[in-house]
Structure 1
């Protein structure tokens, strides 16, 4: 028996903005105003696919231009709706992202291009829900939301999902890492199955594959770079192996040596450490701001504005910003505390060296982090970076300890001798005659 396979044709990549949007002069004008020179690799491949109505999974590192890859086709999708705008109930496009900071950044990108009066609003926790509901009820074309607040509005009946026909799950791997899978699934259940779905991610994990298999229809997968975990080669990676007690002094020496025009992102492992480093920077008269989940939304927004406009040159944060904030011209990323996994490391250092520029990452590495030493060495070697001798020593010591531990676990457990064993009696006989022993 012969099985015939149907191979779906895939739209060819474009090389210029004109090739992608020759039928949409308003978009070409907006791109020209934005002073963009040429599309990025993910945009070259994504635009023809999305403009043809296909579902797509876009895998690319941070800073690759994934956001514009799905925003511009969303505009054209909205403009091409058969139902007149005044007759529609609810938005046509929903973009779901992991954090309020990323939601705000995506909304800025949407408003930046001002295409044919298309409107948008942000939906996220930590602020007054009434204002968000009022904005939705006024009528918007695009809603950009965090999973939690989106679920709240759906449950309360404040959002009509019937007309959503273009769905984006941005930084989907990050949302799964943060435990948002149940909320994402509830959102997907509420949207009609005939939608066009776009999933973007920096990694291609098993959990993400399962999600894509369940909620997309014959998606085209676009991968820029490798599916293996690698760091961007536009970033110089420096690893400082030290004791925990030495880190602070070395860290502030690094900050004092920064050039006046350098913009630094410092990432800490906890809110308490973030606050401590922030206070120390203030005491040393270093122009810094800090951000973490424990701060009020206004404080977080002010910190972002200060680092964006140059009021501050040092941003100290927990990893809430390590993958989702698009802060331009970051020259240095400092991992004050090493992340819990190597995927997080790659995403953190990807906050610099973006848009064709180079950057530098500096990561402190202590004995407490030695479980990641071998993986870090692989990433450094793949990017042709210097591998410190101390890092190799920690990797060898950790591997040796694990090998010894495994050997110890395989040893048979020592037999516990009972009084009956010592006397040479059977257990039954011992039980009957234990008084005589």
Structure 2
């Protein structure tokens, strides 16, 4: 099937062709017809499957078909994303595919001043991409009008819930008109996601292009066993020996991300770190440098890396395994995108064996294990509990088989303590990453 068979208008097809795309991905081929029919939809799709274009293209088509009467512009489409980076990337897709259409779009998120956003909103926009916290800030100040929304898109709903946005999402939904088209995208499913779907979707079409909670089939996954304190040195060797030019490395904590980035720089490997303590400008620059090749290694925490869109990323390395098995799926989903093969390597110490078992149970496969000469694990070292706080320790961060709670390495911005229960978070302050 080609895009020309999907009932999209000439301006959209022209923009798609200029991006070099001729054939829709499976999620696009399935989702676009349902959305053009005006149906609510639940889409289960891993990152890198083309889901953003899967809702952006038909969204633009419907806006073009249903032009409102002349008058001031109103927000007709609201797209809610969990992180700043994802909001910015969705906003770029809207501009790219809608460049031959007369619609105006805006992206609003926290970490930057509100006044420029207020000015943009007052001038009128058709499509608004936002993170929940900043959107509710504008709502509370009366600087955004959501009474005319025709389509509501909730992107990466699973991560929204993981980050404690459920109350904010419900507040936003309560503000929106009851009569609208609702689209929900999620890489994984949970009871909370099911409840959310039941509350906002009406007789939804269901699109699922990958098995639930599974890792990409295009990603070659492997495990290298190594002592915790030797992980950073081993990573440096792997980068040098294999001549890796672009690697996304995951750590559990901000502290370890900074530590690894500094270590790689000292041994002559260009690296940058992104995490919640970095300013938005610093995060944007680090990502741009990584994409351009100015920086070879991007070290990231799970929250900061959510939504990163990096074309043809060849390598992902887990310096530290996540203590939430589903986060492993999200991490390795950064590579093997859009039909391209990728490689995911996890450096695993004795402390992380329980985490590894949980991941293998989730993805329903046993990962290949190997040992690098000169970095053989010391069999006398016993597992110790992994520290989930700021410090971490050693070259691999934590030590041990801690309970599978959500990591505490990402403190809220602004220095506030993060509530222990995510349901208690409010939209004030910077306790959530979407701000």
What is the TM-score normalised by the length of structure 2? 0.82
TM-fit CA distance, 1:380? 6.7
TM-fit CA distance, 1:388? 5.6
Question: 1:127-177: per-residue Cα shift (whole Å, max 9, x none)?
Answer: 001111111111111110001101111111111111111010000100000
TM-fit CA distance, 1:281? 1.7
Q: Does 1:243 align with 2:227?
A: yes
Q: What's 2:344 paired with?
A: 361
The alignment partner of 2:242 has SS state of coil
Q: Does 1:20 align with 2:2?
A: no
Distance in structure 1 (CA, Å) of the matches to 2:89 and 2:52: 10
Distance in structure 1 (CA, Å) of the matches to 2:334 and 2:67: 40
Q: Residues 253, 118 of structure 1: CA spacing in aligned structure 2 closer, same or farther, 3 A cutoff?
A: same
Rg (Cα) greater in structure:
1
Q: What's 1:407 paired with?
A: none
Q: Does 1:59 align with 2:41?
A: no
Distance in structure 2 (CA, Å) of the matches to 1:312 and 1:328: 15
Q: Does 1:223 align with 2:205?
A: no
Question: 1:268-318: per-residue Cα shift (whole Å, max 9, x none)?
Answer: 111111111111122122122221110111111111111112211211111
TM-fit CA distance, 1:322? 3.7
Q: Work out which of the residue numbers 25, 39, 60 in structure 2 matches 1:40.
A: 25
TM-fit CA distance, 1:198? 0.4
TM-fit CA distance, 1:327? 1.1
The alignment partner of 2:317 has SS state of strand
Structure with bigger helix share is 1
Q: What's 2:413 paired with?
A: none
Retained in 2: the 8 A contact 1:381–1:387?
no
Q: Residues 152, 380 of structure 1: CA spacing in aligned structure 2 closer, same or farther, 3 A cutoff?
A: closer
Distance in structure 1 (CA, Å) of the matches to 2:204 and 2:326: 24
Q: What's 2:292 paired with?
A: 309
The alignment partner of 1:302 has SS state of helix
Q: Does 1:107 align with 2:88?
A: no
Distance in structure 1 (CA, Å) of the matches to 2:154 and 2:360: 32
TM-fit CA distance, 1:367? 2.8
Question: 1:208-263: per-residue Cα shift (whole Å, max 9, x none)?
Answer: 11001001111111111212x22111111111222212212212111222326x31
Q: Does 1:155 align with 2:140?
A: yes
Distance in structure 2 (CA, Å) of the matches to 1:247 and 1:82: 57
The alignment partner of 1:285 has SS state of coil
Q: Work out which of the residue numbers 326, 333, 358 in structure 1 matches 2:309.
A: 326
Retained in 1: the 8 A contact 2:83–2:306?
no
Q: What's 1:6 paired with?
A: none
Q: Residues 115, 173 of structure 1: CA spacing in aligned structure 2 closer, same or farther, 3 A cutoff?
A: farther
TM-fit CA distance, 1:387? 4.6
Distance in structure 2 (CA, Å) of the matches to 1:25 and 1:40: 19
TM-fit CA distance, 1:25? 1.3
Question: 1:340-396: per-residue Cα shift (whole Å, max 9, x none)?
Answer: 1111001101101111111111112223323223333346763x75256999x9xxx
Distance in structure 1 (CA, Å) of the matches to 2:237 and 2:107: 40
Between 1 and 2, higher relative CO (CA 8 Å, sep ≥ 6) is seen in 2
The alignment partner of 1:19 has SS state of helix
What is the TM-score normalised by the length of structure 1? 0.82
Q: Residues 143, 374 of structure 1: CA spacing in aligned structure 2 closer, same or farther, 3 A cutoff?
A: same
Q: Work out which of the residue numbers 166, 169, 173 in structure 2 matches 1:181.
A: 166
The alignment partner of 2:129 has SS state of strand
Structure 1, gaps ≥5 residues long: 1-14, 399-437
Alignment of structure 1 residues 11-410 onto 2, 5 Å: 15-21=1-7, 24-84=9-69, 86-113=70-97, 114-227=99-212, 229-259=213-243, 262-378=245-361, 382=365, 385-387=367-369
Distance in structure 1 (CA, Å) of the matches to 2:312 and 2:3: 24
Retained in 2: the 8 A contact 1:46–1:69?
yes
The alignment partner of 1:257 has SS state of helix
Distance in structure 2 (CA, Å) of the matches to 1:135 and 1:121: 7
